[in-house]
Amino acid sequence: MHRHSLTKALFVFPCVFAITMVILIPFFLGLYFSMTDWNGVSDSIKFVGFTNFEKILAQPGFIYSFLISVAYTVINVVLVNVVGFALALIVTSNLRFRNFYRAGFFVPYLIGGIVLGYIWQFLFNNSIPALGKILSIDALQTSMLSLSDSVIWAMSIVNTWQYAGYVMLIFIAAIQSVPSSVMEAAKVDGAGYFKRVFTILIPMMANSFTITLFLTLTTSFKQFDMNLTLTNGGPAARFLGQPVMASQLLAMDIFNTAKANRMAEAQAKAVILFVALVVVSLVQVSINKRKEVEQ
C-alpha cells in the first residue's frame, strides 16, 4: 500500500513540479510584487501594502483603459460569434467549393497579430483614404484610426476578421454533430429555416457556444499584439477632463507602465486584470452551462 502511493506520487511529481515552478510561484510572487515598490532591478524591495492599487485606481488613464477594454470585449464577443456562426452556417450548407471557403476563412487566424496589425494599419491609413479620394466619399477620406470614436471599431473589425474563422471551425464541428434526423423531422413538420436554426440547432450546440464565448471573451480582454501594431494606443481622447489614449487596452496599459520602469504598479494593474478576467469568465461559463442540453 505504501509503495503504491509512492509510485502515484512519482507519477504526479512532474506535473506538480511544473505547475509549481511556472504557475504557482510566479503567481504568488506577482501578487507580492504588486504590493511593493520594486522597480525590476534594485535589490531593495519595500512592502507598501495597497498603495499601488490606490494610486492606479485614481488614474483616469487606467480607468479609461479598463472601460475601453470592457467595451472592446463586448463588441468582439458579439461580432466574432455572430460572424463566425453565420460563416459556419454558410459553409455547412450545400454550397459549391465549401471546403475551399472553410480553409479561406480560417487562414487569417494563422497570421500573427503583429503582422496583421501592420497590414491593416496600411489599409486604414493609406488604402481606404485613397479609395475615398478617388470615389470622393468624404467619410472614407479620414482614417478610422485617427478618430477616437471609431478606432475601437476599426480594431474590432480586424479582430473579427482574424478570429471569426477560428470560431467558425468550432461551430462547424458542433453543427455536424447535431443529428440530421432531428432537423429533418422539424422540416417535415413545417418549420422554416430560421425557426430550425434558432429552436433546434442553437440549443443543441449550446456547449460549443460556451467554448467560443469563453475564448472570444478572454482573448479580447487580453488583446495586446494587434493593439500595439495597429493603433499603438492612439489617438488621444479626453476622459474625466484628462488626456488619455483612446485605444490603449488594459494589456497595453500594463506594458507601457512596465516600460516606464514602474514594475510594481504594472504588476498591480495585472492583478486587477486577472481578477476581472476570472470573475467575468466564471460568470459567463456558469450561465452558459445552464443553457446546455443533454443530447
Partner 1 sequence: MRRILVILLVMGLVCGAAFAATPVTINMFQLKVEIKDALDAYAAKYSATHPGVTVKVETLGGGADFGGALKAKIQAGQVPDIFVIEGMGQYNVFKDYIADLSDQPWVKDTDLAFMVNGKVYGFPVSIEGYGLAYNADILKKAGVDPAGLTTRAAYEKAFALIDSKKKELGLDAVVSMAASVSGGMWWVAAQHNLACYWGGGLPFDDTSVIKKALKGQLDDARFLQYAKYVQLLFKYADRNILLNGSYDNQVASFAQGKTAFLHQGNWVDPNLKQLGVTFKMGYAPHAFLDTPEKGLYLFAPSWYCVNPKSPNAAQAKAFLASIAMTPEGQDYMVNQAGMIPAFKSVKLQPKGQLSQALMAANARGGNYGVFFGMLPDGAGQNVFAPIYDLFAQNPDNIEQFISDMKKAVATLPTM
Binding site for partner 1 (CB under 8 A): 39-43, 61, 125, 129, 143, 145-146, 151, 231-238, 242-245, 247, 256-262
Residue 226 near residue 159 (C-beta atoms within 8 A)? yes
Give the shortest CB-272-to-partner 1 separation in angstroms.
17
What gap in Å lies between CA 263 and CA 233, rounded to an integer? 20
Give the shortest CB-218-to-partner 1 separation in angstroms.
25
Give residue 59's identity as a one-letter amino acid code: Q
Q: Of 45 and 86, which CB lies nearer to partner 1 in the complex structure? A: 45
- Start-to-end CA distance of the chain, whole Å, equals 41
Q: Of 125 and 288, which CB lies nearer to partner 1 in the complex structure? A: 125
Q: Of 60 and 108, which CB lies nearer to partner 1 in the complex structure? A: 60
Q: Of 73 and 247, which CB lies nearer to partner 1 in the complex structure? A: 247
Give the shortest CB-191-to-partner 1 separation in angstroms.
50
Give the shortest CB-148-to-partner 1 separation in angstroms.
8
Strands 236-239 and 242-245: antiparallel
Residue 256 near residue 233 (C-beta atoms within 8 A)? yes
What gap in Å lies between CA 93 and CA 171, rounded to an integer? 13
Give the shortest CB-69-to-partner 1 separation in angstroms.
17
Closest CA to 53 of 225, 270, 216: 270
Give the shortest CB-29-to-partner 1 separation in angstroms.
13
Q: Of 199 and 242, which CB lies nearer to partner 1 in the complex structure? A: 242
Give the shortest CB-203-to-partner 1 separation in angstroms.
44
Closest CA to 230 of 132, 150, 158: 158
Q: Of 43 and 294, which CB lies nearer to partner 1 in the complex structure? A: 43
Angle between helix 151-177 and 206-221 (nearest 10):
150
Q: Of 212 and 256, which CB lies nearer to partner 1 in the complex structure? A: 256
Residue 40 region, left (φ>0) first, then alpha (ψ -120 to 50), else beta? left
Query: Which ranges constitute the DSSP H helices of the chain?
Result: 2-19, 25-33, 51-57, 60-91, 98-110, 113-122, 128-135, 138-141, 151-177, 180-188, 193-196, 202-204, 206-221, 225-230, 250-259, 263-291
User: 245 pairs with which residues across the strands?
Assistant: 236
